[in-house]
Every structure is written in C-alpha cells, then in structure tokens.
Amino acid sequence: MNNVLLQEWKTPFQIAPFNSISDDDFTPALDEALARHKAEVAAITEQTEQPDFTNTIEALEATGYDLNRVLGVFFTMVGADSNPVREALQRNFSPKLAAHFSDISGNTALFQRILCVWSKRDDLNLTAEQSRILMLTHRGFVRSGAGLKDTSKNRMKAIKERLAELGTQFSQNLLADEQEWFIKLAKEDLAGLPSFVINAALAAGEEKNAGGPIINLSRSLIVPFLQFSTRRNLRKKAYNAWVKRGANTGKTDNRAIAAKILELRAEQADLLGYKSFAEYKLETEMAKTPKAVRDLLLSVWKPAKARAEADGAVLESMMQADGLTGSLEAWDWRFYSERRRKDLHELDEAKLKPYFQLNRMIEASFSCANRLFDLQFEPITLPLYHQDCRAWSVTRNGKHLAIFIADYFARGSKRSGAWCSAMRSQAKFPTIQTPIIINVCNFAKGDPTLLSYDDARTLFHEFGHALHQILSNVTYESVSGTSVARDFVELPSQLYEHWLTVPEVLKEFATHAETNQPMPPELLNNLLAATNYDMGFQTVEYVASAIIDLAFHDGEAPADPMALETEILKDIGMPHAIRMRHATPNFAHIFAGDGYASGYYSYMWSEMMDEDAFAAFEEANDAFDQDNATALEQNILSRGGSADAEDLYIAFRGHLPDVKALLKGRNLKF
C-alpha cells in the first residue's frame, strides 16, 4: 500500500517522517493496519500445530507492528498538536479500535490456545520473563471477558466501544473549553503581576490574536495569575472558569458523560463477576483492594486537613488585615499563600523564577541521569510534528539506547497537563528495537522560558518516566518500560523529582537568566526549607480527588456523580477554601480513559515508595551513590513489568515502606 505510514521509514533511527505525513493518510493506514493485525491473529488460530509458548504466546507478542506504528504517530499528534480534522478522526477511530481489540480478546479459538498453554505452564521450562508473559496474557484475556458466554461477550464488546466513544468525547470537550475561554487584560488588570507573568500573558494573547495580554486556562498561566494578581474580581472570574471546565451548559458539558461512563464501568465489572469496578481494577495493582486504598487515603486525610485548616486560618487573617470581609475563598488561597511564603521563607517567586531557566533545567535532568546511569544526550535534528519539539540521541559508552523527544510549550492545540509516551518501546523480540520516548509539558513560552519550581519538578517527573522507558532491558514489548502496575508506574517519576532538591544540582544549574550567576546560598537554603510549604493545601486537594475517584467506582454507579461528589466532600469536611484538584467534569485522569479510574490514589501509593527509595541514597550520604544507582536500574528501571512490582521493590530496597515514609516526606504528623 502506497501510504507513508505503512512504508519502511528510511529516516534517522526510523522515526516517523512527520514532514511527509498528512491527515488524509491516517484513515486508510489505520484500516490497512487493522486488517493486517486481524490476519496475523487469524494465522495463529488457524495453525494445526498443538499450542505452545512459541506458536501462540510469542506469536501473539509479534503481531500488530504496523498498527502500533500508525497509532503511535496518530495519538502523539492528536494529544499534542490537535486540529478539527484529527479530533474528528479520533472520534471515529476510538470505537473502531475498541471493537478491534474486543474481537481479539473475545476470539474463542485464540483463547482456547492460550488456555492450553496455560494448563501446561509448569512443564514448559520457561524463563521468568516468559512465565510472566504467559500469566499476563492469560489474565488479560480472562479480565477482558474471553470466558464469557456469547450474549455477555457481545454486551462487553458494546460497552467497550461506547466507553471509547465517551472517553474521547470527554477529553475533546475539555480541550474545547480550555481553547475557547480567555479574558483580555487591560493595563490596570496587570496590577501585581511580575514581568514573567505579563510576558506569558502577552505570548498567550499573541497566539489568540487578541491584541494584548490574556489569561487562559493553561495551568502554567492561570496559577501564577492567581498567585500574584491583586484584582480579586479577576482572580474569581478566572478561577471559576478553570474549575468549571467541562461543566458549562451546552455541547461541551461532561456531567452526563461522566455518569454514563460510571454506569457502563459498573456493568462491565458485573459481567466479569466483580462487586464493583474498583474491585475489578485494583485486583492487578499493588494495593489489591478498595479497602487498602481507602485506608491509605484516610490515614493521610486527617493530618493533611488539620494542617490545611491551620494554614487557612492564617491566610484568612491576612485577608481581613487587607480590609476584606467574609471568608477566605478558593481564588484567594494562592494569592495569600504566596505572600505568606515570601514572609516566612523570604521567597519571592519573581526573584526566584529567573534561576529556573528551562534550558538549564533540561541540562540538570540530563546531568543527573549521566551521573547516576552514565547516559549521554546528544542534540539531533529529526522531522518532528511541531517546530517546538526537540530531540536527543541517548547513548551509553557509545552504544545507542534511545531517542528522547521533548515538547515543552503550552499551545491551544495541546491538551492540558504533562505526560510521557512511547512512539516505540524497547524490545528484543521479534527483533531488537530501541525506544523513541516523548515528554510533553505545558510551560508558558518565553525568551528565555522561565519555570516555577513546580514546573521544574514536573520536568524532572516526566523525565523520570522517560528514564523508565530508556533504561528498559526486557525481551517482550508488552512488559517494557512503563508497562507496570498503575500504582508502581509513578515510582520512577516521583523518585527522580528528588534530584531537583539536591543542593549541588541547584548550585550548578539554577543560574540567573540575566547574570548567569548561581543562586545565592541564602536563597537556595530558603527554597529547600520551603519544599513542604503549603503541603496541607496540596495534599487535601489531591486526596479529595482520589477519595471521590474511589467512591465513584466502589459500589453501584451513582445516578448523579455531582451530587455524590458534594455529599462526600461534606462528609470528609473539605475545607471551604480548597477545591478538588480535579473536579468531576474535568477529571480527565479517570474519565478520558480508564487508566487511572479507581487509580488516582496511585501517585500517593508510589510516593510511599519514592520517599523510602531516596532514603537509600540519603543513608549512603551521596545522592549519586553508584551502588544504589546500579541497584535502582537493575531491579526497577530496567525490568519494566517483567516481574511483580512488589518483588521488584523488595529486590531494590529489601522491604516495603508504609505510610509513615509518605507522611515524613510531606512533613505531616503521623
């Protein structure tokens, strides 16, 4: 077929030739790739040889090469550089893909072959990784409904197709709200804003052809606006628009969509014999049960709430000292918290931010990876999907390991948030393939681009995910890199954030954008002392979202999720001036797909481990201790999902941590 997406890519490192791909290529390429994948699976089921690991499990692992290439390109572009054509394609592709994979997971002949291999597993003399692949394949087919009767199997297929449609609609509605809303700022509306916020607002206005500065719903712009703007009425207006994403009446309203998604998930779990979707989803995670998740969240909620309420009282008194009456509101918290941070820790964001240049933070993340894992990063020129993208070849001792691509800047065509994805994952079967990894962020573009400390942490976080992919060293792609339990996948990313707090790293790379001088020792000490500042607020907004996520999925589907959200927040005593980090209509983590459904807690579960894991380096009195770095790579980063997550962590650390490690890391009382 004469389609660039299906041809051999004679580009450097066989990366997709984005400069030759048009939107018209996607539909015919996908249809052909689906047909090829279907034929590959049919070849497995139609063979006459008795099922064994090679002709069934490995054969299945080897299928879908063309499909993976097409989808890798498409989902990279639709997530980071969307347009109306790509959004329409996504709406069409989602149910088509769901139906395709449902047909495979519901293929009776294929499942019977897998069952035959599974029944002989103790006599096959498999390697540890092969045994893991067999278990995961068998478990995945069972959990997808392969063993259901025809009527139930057909219903399961219909549910998956509908969920795919609804998840796509949810994410596109959210993107539409984020793209459409902005407010123009007159000269008087800039009161209190430091130059870096004004410059970011001007850049956002230029993108919108607004003729001046604007505030939009990009987190990298709206958060500093809420921190610094002295215009309380504008803070309120911007904040309310931010939290109402997906909850505006009209075609982008996500509330009914969320309710339908929860209803279908509950039915899906019931078809498979589970009491709830949460029980179904958590069965394969480290937490295992809804009770374990709930116990973790509630053990953190009480001390976090107490800290937040004490902090809120101080902020409200500051507000009243300004002559304002009434209660502290959600659009006031960041403003007064920023003033308090400046007073307590002598930290002025406007003076701090010039020390966090994007380019220097990229260098810092690379330098830490070099000192820990002996990785080298060489800038290279590749045909990429957007002019803002940058690429590096990753090597070790002269051997090519991966391509790392970064897309750092916010723009209207990009969905919000930050993420890491693989256009190609590491594998040795059926052929050796090196990974192509992408980090996508939403930083406000500038000249130079300056990051907040939280932005810099995000950069390190996503790069931690990238290292999990880059250092992967397994045989089979299905357990490569970040293909691990959801509550384990955040360990490498959250652990890597710790290296941003290492004083010698900041001394070398936190240099001033104008003078190029390192951060003064006093400012550095104040920054590190304030690492856990406002931790009550941060923990409460996150844990509240995780509690709501679990409640939505643990039991019968709520007829009115918004009413249940209100009820639960009242029951747990949500502080008045703090909102959930993700309100239900814009909670893309759990509604745009089911990756984090019943799993938003996973960041906190991983945090128990990342605090304990970094303690190993602290105990060695060396953040770059080579014995620990080697053990981290050998036992976690290189292993992907080739072994049970609990076993991998114990192999690295010798024990499992408990919630005390998390509370200590957040400086919250036990």
Measuring CA to CA, how many Å separate 599 from each of 277, 479, 603?
Answer: 11, 19, 8
Measuring CA to CA, how many Å separate 111 from each of 44, 106, 224?
Answer: 11, 8, 53
- CA gap 522, 517 in Å, rounded: 14
Stated length of the chain: 670
Residue 481 backbone zone (phi > 0: left; psi -120 to 50: alpha; other: beta):
left
- CA gap 548, 566 in Å, rounded: 10
- CA gap 375, 471 in Å, rounded: 9
**Is 206 an active-site residue?**
no
Pick from 542, 345, 360, 336: which is nearest to 451 by CA?
Answer: 360
Catalytic residue among 462, 477, 607, 633: 462
Q: What is the 3-state secondary structure (H, E, C) of 74-99?
A: HHHHHHHCCCHHHHHHHHHHHHHHHH
3-state secondary structure of 394: strand
Residue 54 backbone zone (phi > 0: left; psi -120 to 50: alpha; other: beta):
alpha
Residue 86 in contact with residue 133, Cβ under 8 Å? no
- CA gap 408, 444 in Å, rounded: 9
What is the helix (H) or strand (E) element at residue 441, kind and residue range?
strand 436-443
Task: Give φ, ψ of 156 to 5 degrees.
Answer: -60, -40
Q: Which residues are catalytic?
A: 462
